[in-house]
Structure 1
Amino acid sequence: MHGRDYPRLFVLFLPLALVFTAFFLVPMARVAVVGATGEDGLAAYLSILTTPRHFESMVATVVLSVGVTATALAVSTVAGLFLVRNRFPGRSLLVSLLTFPLAFPGVVIGFLVILLAGRQGLIGSVSDLLIGDRIVFAYSMAGLFVGYLYFSIPRVILTVMATAEKIDPALEEAARSLGAPGWRVVKDVLLPALKPGFVASGAICFATAMGAFGTAFTLATNIDVLPMTIYTEFTLNANIAGAASLSIVLGLITWAALFVARSLSGTTVAVSG
């Protein structure tokens, strides 16, 4: 690199540096400072461990996010492989329908869950006819799980399909020609080849579920996840420092998941939505 190239590189880098500073560094620094200015000082960052409600909320959020991620990966892998390996009339329409939930905000998804499993929902109406009792779970962690899974599957299935399209079918044929049973082909050929897609889409799914707010807000009757806890501390308890410290902790947990995913996959993993 010649010395005359530095001014040009500086001009190209300057907009990125300004945007990164204005929209990431400064807000994050401000939130971090606010989190330590409450009556508890820096100890506010330990409230996630010392305050039972905060700790239970964190555990519930992590468990929910892990469950959604695992389920989305399982469903999307089967569906993605089927769609990649098979061509049939209406395939493009089916793929479009499977990815359509990406167009919905969290509030709309929460409303759809209410229509499905709310007090006047479809499941409740059917169960009332069959067993004389309405099954209602929209306003619980089960309802939130369904909502998160609804918007997670499209994110995962697109990544899995993109990864599956790069797999050379000759590898599977070679394994079968050597006498490998079907489960060994899946275990030794398909799953290792799909690993980068699993890691990347799993990280996206986990991070999105950790920070999703709109769906939880719509269904929040018996739900206590970390985004809702932050909202409650800020709006109902006027605990701005506590909300800020919990926000930083939530961000760190999500960042750690993305960092681990990037280390495992060796590629850049980003969050969308």
Structure 2
Amino acid sequence: MHDLTFPLRWRVALVAPALAVFLAFWLLPMVALVQVSADGHLIATYRALLTNSRYMTSLLETVLLSAAVTLATLVLSTICGLLLARREFPARRLLVALLTFPLAFPGVVVGFMVIMLAGRQGLIGALALRLAGERWVFAYSMAGLFVGYLYFSIPRVIVTVMASASQLDASLEEAARSLGASPWRVTRDVILPALTPGLIAAGAVCFATAMGAFGTAFTLATDIDVLPMTIYTEFTLNANMVTAAGLSIVLGLVTWVVLTLARSLTGASVAATT
């Protein structure tokens, strides 16, 4: 009897810290957020949010921006990641280190770098003034935010692609080449399907990060109305905690749906390849 209860105590001891963290840092704050957002009238409150054109436009713009960033990141990172994982050349390690260096930057620094690149006194504006006679400024718009999100999204996906590419079965590629497949067909029919689960997972994380990113948007916020900025404005400037909490729940639900869908697709892909 003692032998049976001893492992159970250890299980409880091991689960207790994780359970405490889950309760303190996720469940209790989420319950409080839902209570604040409901304001005693859950259905009426969320109906008002979901029928407000300004809030829904902000949500739509955030989703479209995040989707565009995710798509561009996957394309660029897949090309770069495969090249870095499969080719040896001088300064390869240095290039990998430089490409992943932005992982250390907070969003505010990324926003400042976008301003230096495409702001009113930025490099692109100065070059355009000399070459075209007018200054090009897009740092304080959705285009600038797209560049900023792309900047800190690419390193994350490159690391995933390189890790996935290193696990590929080289014999499958050799077999395809021996059957006369061109390099493009090998990439399309062998390499990309094998990378699909990792790309879906990395894309989901990229999308979720872009949906909730605040520092870069806050630094560039002039004509930008993405949902994190809308939540910040409602909470700080308008002192509207009910709306801010409700929009936070909506933002979290949209991101959760995308992550859940990606998880199911990844599981299906893995099952199909095994």
* TM superposition score normalised by structure 1: 0.94
Instruction: Check whether the contact 2:49–2:243 (CA below 8 A) recurs between aligned residues.
Output: no
Instruction: Check whether the contact 1:47–1:54 (CA below 8 A) recurs between aligned residues.
Output: no
Q: Distance in 1 between matches of 2:226 and 2:31?
A: 24
Aligned to 2:89: 88
1:133 Cα deviation after fit: 0.2
Q: Distance in 1 between matches of 2:42 and 2:256?
A: 23
Aligned to 1:270: none
Aligned to 1:32: 34
Instruction: Check whether the contact 1:45–1:249 (CA below 8 A) recurs between aligned residues.
Output: no
Residue 12 (structure 1) aligned with residue 11 (structure 2) = no
1:181 Cα deviation after fit: 2.5
Q: Distance in 2 between matches of 1:93 and 1:122?
A: 25
Q: Distance in 1 between matches of 2:152 and 2:45?
A: 33
1:163-182 to 2 correspondences below 5 Å: 163-182=164-183
Q: Which amino acid aligns with 1:15?
A: P
Q: Distance in 2 between matches of 1:27 and 1:196?
A: 32
Q: Deviations over 1:31-54 (max 9, x none)?
A: 11000017x643322344300110
Q: Distance in 2 between matches of 1:21 and 1:193?
A: 38
Aligned to 2:127: 126
* TM superposition score normalised by structure 2: 0.94
Q: Distance in 1 between matches of 2:116 and 2:49?
A: 34
1:93-108 to 2 correspondences below 5 Å: 93-108=94-109
Q: Gaps spanning 5+ residues in structure 1: where?
A: 268-273
Instruction: Check whether the contact 1:163–1:196 (CA below 8 A) recurs between aligned residues.
Output: no
Instruction: Check whether the contact 1:139–1:219 (CA below 8 A) recurs between aligned residues.
Output: yes
What CA RMSD, in Å, does the superposition of the two structures yield over aligned residues? 1.5
Residue 215 (structure 1) aligned with residue 216 (structure 2) = yes
Q: Gaps spanning 5+ residues in structure 2: where?
A: 269-274
1:100 Cα deviation after fit: 0.5
Instruction: Check whether the contact 1:233–1:239 (CA below 8 A) recurs between aligned residues.
Output: yes
Q: Distance in 2 between matches of 1:45 and 1:97?
A: 45
Q: Distance in 2 between matches of 1:244 and 1:145?
A: 26
Bigger proportion of residues as helix: 2
Q: Distance in 2 between matches of 1:257 and 1:225?
A: 18
Q: Which aligned runs of 4 or more in structure 1 are off by greater than 6 angstroms?
A: none
Percent pairwise identity = 63
Aligned to 1:193: 194
Instruction: Check whether the contact 1:35–1:44 (CA below 8 A) recurs between aligned residues.
Output: yes
1:238 Cα deviation after fit: 1.3
Aligned to 1:235: 236
Residue 21 (structure 1) aligned with residue 15 (structure 2) = no
1:120 Cα deviation after fit: 0.5
Q: Distance in 1 between matches of 2:47 and 2:5?
A: 49
Q: Distance in 2 between matches of 1:179 and 1:188?
A: 13
Instruction: Check whether the contact 1:35–1:42 (CA below 8 A) recurs between aligned residues.
Output: no
